[in-house]
Chains A and B, each alone.
Chain A
């Protein structure tokens, strides 16, 4: 039953990580566990240095950890090969960064189709798919302009188009509205909601903004490398009770 196996998109269990060595060693994650189900929007909230970005990077296979288990979309990171993880980032995970990370020497469309560089897709097909992604974020008319000429909000939409390029199942966003004014940020947040509703995309958004947390259906607070609160615990309990009740009903 593969569909059920993929219900749990992210599974992090008792993950520890620290930076530095010897005396200067500072722990960032101290036994973090987190499960994200398909179709969830999760806001990971914490102050800077709380370990929230590190956790996001570990889930995105961009960072290493010391102990614990990380499994994303059925792939056990500790057992996966480097190429396997790269392919997963290419096809199944989209990243949205605070600083957009667009390459200024390329045009918008070239930035968007960059993920196709690591596949064998034909140039023409890649462009078509890239234009579709730009259309999705409403910027197709700016396709051939360099990102330097765009506003912050437009840049972030190009970056999102790039993240959406391969229609990922999981979108990992690190302070996506951090460099945007509140109105533009609002638009981006709305767009995230749309992606979740229409495409059933799972979103994990790292932020320190309450605004984003109001929008998320599940908020996880992290502090000093430890998860302080997670809305889902109750939710999960509810679902357990529900399924329990259901089982009882079925049994009876």
Chain B
């Protein structure tokens, strides 16, 4: 029997048993709809999470340890960077040490006519790393250039040209400290802060800067040695002073929450206010791994080798939670289709009994046992396929309704995606595969019974 003829016989029978088909295929429809819905949902959410927290960018930190008041936390410095670069368990791309400002700094600026001040949270990084991210030549340690003589501040207003400010300690014009922030900061500002404080939302950063009147208006003030929170502080080695900065824009390589400046400034400030110790130790080291799969072996090496560890990656944590939830829903979906397969088996057993004469006839005109088996399995597969198509359609439909409700009826929040779902091609395809497979599983035993039937006996009843 050719497959074309089998398909024709199967289709003829399917047309005849439309009602049974709809009834026994219903479970497959629901199961497959749930299957594709939850898979696409988990893929969509997972992609968004990994976009915000990329898995392959890990942060190496020193575990904090203390004994009888003595700080035994391991120091990370240039030798640690070398160690990481020379290890062989993972292919490593960029290694970016970070240095945190080790003493209180208040950051303030004028925005929309108001002065806003907050505690500076920020890291210094190698400027070359940020410059790779199209931030431009301005992100650098301007103070490192000691060859170009500094211009005196212009009296009587102590003013300087362009992006320079008048440093009162030496009455010279210094370049403002370049600052970049992550997209996350803008997102959090837009979705949470701007809304609650009635401030304008920042759209494209470049446009925003132009609207405000160019970079010279993107002024920030660092009050070194002063705190907004005003806690009891340890004694600093220097008196508070003000340094001016300029917000250059957004960089994907800026720390997620906080401001990022060239490391040279942090080194000098820490040396000035805390001491040499603080000016040479890194707070964390960002390591960009070439493969996501290397995260685990690299983390293991860190513990066994240099006695360091990986900061828990938000991406990894979210991704594993999503995976677990997805698995639960997939199991539920599979339970539904399994029950449906049993239902199909039941319905097909009844059909085999009802169609005894037909089976006998087909055998009498030349049908083999295998032909009969294929006929019933084919019908079950067709049932599964049709139910699968409807199920996939239903799943996509529910997802679309869900997206619409999500976009229109939930509050705007940071990183709110435009869609919760990611229907990659393999999802509907595997949905269909599951439908056909479980249809065939349901049809297998009845088909066997039909094939084993003695034709003479089938014909006489």
Contact = CB atoms under 8 A, between A and B. Distances in A.
Majority SS at the chain A contact face: helix
B9 interface: yes
Interface string A46-80: 00000001100110101110000000000000000
Interface string A72-97: 00000000001100110111000101
B364 A89 contact: yes
Contacts of B13: 105
B460 A117 contact: no
B453 to A, nearest CB: 11
A83 B12 contact: no
Contacts of A97: 361, 459
A152 interface: no
B237 to A, nearest CB: 95
A120 B1 CA distance: 6
A101 B357 contact: yes
A106 B12 contact: yes
Interface in B352-371: 357-358, 360-371
Contact of B366 (A57, A105, A118): A118
Contacts of B455: 57, 62-63
A99 to B, nearest CB: 8
A150 interface: no
B418 interface: no
Contacts of A57: 455-456, 459
B454 interface: yes
A103 interface: yes
Interface string B331-370: 0000000000000000000000000011011111111111
Given A62-B360, A118-B1, A101 B459 contact: yes
B367 A64 contact: no
A120 B364 contact: no
A195 interface: no
B283 to A, nearest CB: 76
A38 interface: no
Contacts, number: 79
A120 B2 contact: yes
Interface residues of A, number: 32
A86 B456 contact: no
B363 A101 contact: no
B15 interface: yes
Given A57-B456, A105-B13, A118-B1, A62 B364 contact: yes
Given A87-B366, A95-B364, A101-B361, A117 B456 contact: no
A95 B360 CA distance: 11
A57 B361 CA distance: 12
Q: Is the interface of B mostly helix, strand, loop or mixed?
A: helix
A162 interface: yes
Contact of A105 (B2, B12, B362, B456): B12
Interface residues of B, number: 31
Interface in B227-268: none
Contacts of B456: 54, 57-58, 62-63
A117 B363 CA distance: 11
A117 B459 CA distance: 19
B15 A105 contact: yes
A91 B366 contact: yes
A122 to B, nearest CB: 10
A189 interface: no
A82 B368 contact: yes
Contacts of B115: none
A37 to B, nearest CB: 23
A99 B358 CA distance: 12
Contacts of B364: 60, 62, 89, 95
B365 A95 contact: yes
B360 A118 contact: no
Interface of A: 53-54, 57-58, 60, 62-64, 82-83, 86-87, 89-91, 95, 97, 99, 101, 103, 105-106, 110, 114-120, 123, 162
23 contacts: A58-B456, A62-B360, A62-B454, A63-B455, A82-B368, A83-B368, A83-B370, A86-B371, A87-B366, A89-B365, A101-B361, A103-B358, A105-B12, A105-B13, A105-B15, A106-B12, A110-B12, A115-B366, A116-B5, A117-B1, A117-B5, A118-B365, A118-B371
Given A63-B454, A90-B365, 12 more contacts: A53-B460, A62-B455, A64-B454, A86-B367, A89-B364, A91-B366, A101-B357, A101-B361, A114-B361, A114-B365, A119-B366, A120-B2
